[in-house]
Amino acid sequence: MADKTSAKSSEGKPSKSKPTKGKDPAAAKPALLSGGNPQIAKGTGDAPVQAYIAAMPDWKSDVGRRLDTLITRTIPGVHKAVKWNSPLYGLEGQGWFLGIHCFTNYVKVAFFRGASLHPVPPGQSKQKEVRYLDIREDDPFDEAQIAAWVKQASELPGEQM
């Protein structure tokens, strides 16, 4: 009797529609949610964040890589996770200070205590403390300013999520 879990195509290769042993399910391209935001399983550490960045569509993936590199370089030992289909950055035991989210025309960087940063990031929020930086495809990437905000944000009390 044939094992239905190891379906083969007409060429004798494993079917792409069903997982096979030895295949990494994380290697499959995640679904994109509204605005092109990758649907990534909740997880802690660098791996789910890298999976999110790799799944960001088009130019947004480059922005995600640049942000991740900048944050990691600015805050050695930064704690990473993906929750609610968004990468979060924080310090172990101190909470999250920053999150990233994809939208149709931009990548949103959320500084959870952004109202306390100098200068204050330009995007306002309905939440009193939160401020945003929206990065569009052709926007200049002000690495020095973003690094300064990241450093400041990491020194403030983090959000417990």
Q: How many helices (H) and strands (E) does the chain have?
A: 3, 6
Class of domain 30-154: alpha beta
Cα gap 84→40, rounded to integer Å: 8
| Helix, strand, coil content of the chain in percent (nearest 5) | 30, 25, 45
pTM for the model stands at 0.80
pLDDT of residue 14: 41
Domain segments of the chain as ranges: 30-154
Task: Give me the average pLDDT of each 10-residue run along the chain (161 residues).
Answer: 40 41 56 79 96 94 97 97 96 96 96 97 95 96 97 95 81
